[in-house]
A = this chain, B = another copy of it.
Amino acid sequence: MIVAMQDQATEKQIQDVIERMVELGFNVHRTTGTNQTILAGVGKPAHFDVVEFKVLVGVHDAYRISSPYKLAGRSFRPEGTKIKFRNGVVIGDTEVAIMSGPCSVESREQIFESAKQVAASGAKFLRGGAYKPRSSPYSFQGMGVEGLKLMREAADENGLLVVTEVMEIAQIEGMLPYVDLFQLGARNMQNFNLLREIGNTRTPVLMKRGIAATIEEVLLSAEYILAGGNYDVMICERGIRTYETYTRNTMDISAIPVLKKLTHLPIVADPSHGVGIREFVPPMALAAVAAGADALIMEMHPNPDKAMSDGAQSLYPEQLIKLVEQLRKLAPVVGRTVA
């Protein structure tokens, strides 16, 4: 940590700051300029809040110079994390994985038809929600465990892996038999107890970026899961909230290369929630892979106009197939492949 004192700071104020730094475990190096004193704290302090120093009397400003996350940082595993699934699929290697399926599991027929089309496109994961967090209490809330069973069956019949959202601690155990990849929703990115429990499982996790989460907060949330010993974490950019309302969210494509630099974890992109409007999903999927995404997760529905949720952003099956063909051509430009 660095503390820059105000020009007019007194020696007493400087000593108070030094004392507090030492108390937290810092070794303090002092630079006395003609106007301003600068205190550099080095070493391995207990966890601290840099804002606490900003408001001490006589302080001009304070800066954290080490990352508040350790396990999630790129330097922890410079070569990058590869997450391996039982059928041989790997995320974080050269192949870009595709995950697709409906927003919600609605019926046996719907999920089986979806799975068939997902498999036909070349995608490797079937997505679908069994428990649905909905902003209105009057909206469809999902089929629950019945939906999970249908999804598992449909996926197995089509050689797919299952990715689905877990919404609370009490659901984890019951979901384990059906799920290959837990999805942690954007609204739960800072549900720290849930993160901690997911960290205690050994099932891979796709953690979505919160709608207003900074990149640092994203990595701190991943840290919660890693700290429990579950290292199979991927981070998903799915759009952030900005002043622009034409699209559902503003998809922060630049977060993809930025995260690739800062962390060793694979990065997934979700263009469906990123823009929220079907016709803009394919260009954003192409952009995400061009920018370095390791996987894509996209909503597709056999009959989007009749979908019980998120129909407006769900691809038609033939759109998915055409898009994956384009992705196959694009991937090699950035040194990747799509199966």
Question: Which residue, of A56, A192, A253, has the highest number of chain B Cβ atoms within 10 A?
Answer: A253
Q: For A169, list chain B residues within 8 Å (CB).
A: 168, 170
Q: Is A245 an interface residue (CB 8 A)?
A: yes
Cα distance A69–B136 in the bound complex, in angstroms: 8
Closest Cβ–Cβ distance, residue A332 to chain B (whole Å): 8
Q: Is A83 an interface residue (CB 8 A)?
A: no
Evaluate contact between B241 and A212: CB separation under 8 angstroms: yes
Evaluate contact between B253 and A244: CB separation under 8 angstroms: no
A-side interface size class: 35 or more
Closest Cβ–Cβ distance, residue A68 to chain B (whole Å): 5
Q: Is A334 an interface residue (CB 8 A)?
A: yes
Cα distance A91–B277 in the bound complex, in angstroms: 27
| A217-273 interface (Cβ within 8 A of B) | 217, 220-221, 223-224, 227, 240-248, 250-258, 261
Q: Is A326 an interface residue (CB 8 A)?
A: yes
Q: Is A120 an interface residue (CB 8 A)?
A: no
Evaluate contact between B326 and A287: CB separation under 8 angstroms: no
Select one of B187, B211, B251, B256 contacting A254, CB under 8 A: B251
Evaluate contact between A55 and B278: CB separation under 8 angstroms: yes
Evaluate contact between B187 and A305: CB separation under 8 angstroms: no
What is the chain B residue whose CB lies nearest that of A246?
Answer: B215
Encoded as 1 (CB less than 8 Å from any B CB) or 0, chain A from 181 to 224 comes to 00000011011110010000000000000011011110011011
**What is the total number of copies of this protein in its complex?**
4
Evaluate contact between A250 and B252: CB separation under 8 angstroms: yes
Closest Cβ–Cβ distance, residue A25 to chain B (whole Å): 13
In the assembled complex, 16 residue pairs joining A and B whose CB atoms fall closer than 8 Å, in A order, are A4-B65, A7-B75, A36-B65, A68-B136, A135-B217, A137-B192, A137-B223, A137-B224, A169-B170, A187-B190, A188-B191, A211-B212, A245-B245, A251-B254, A253-B253, A329-B333
Other A-B pairs beyond A168-B169, A243-B243, 8, CB < 8 Å: A49-B309, A51-B313, A52-B312, A214-B244, A215-B244, A250-B252, A251-B254, A256-B283
| B-binding residues in A (CB < 8 A) | 2, 4, 7, 20, 27, 29, 31, 33-36, 38, 40, 42-43, 47, 49, 51-52, 54-56, 60-61, 63, 65-66, 68-69, 75, 133-140, 167-170, 187-188, 190-193, 196, 211-212, 214-217, 220-221, 223-224, 227, 240-248, 250-258, 261, 274-280, 283-284, 286-292, 305, 307, 309-313, 326, 329-330, 332-334
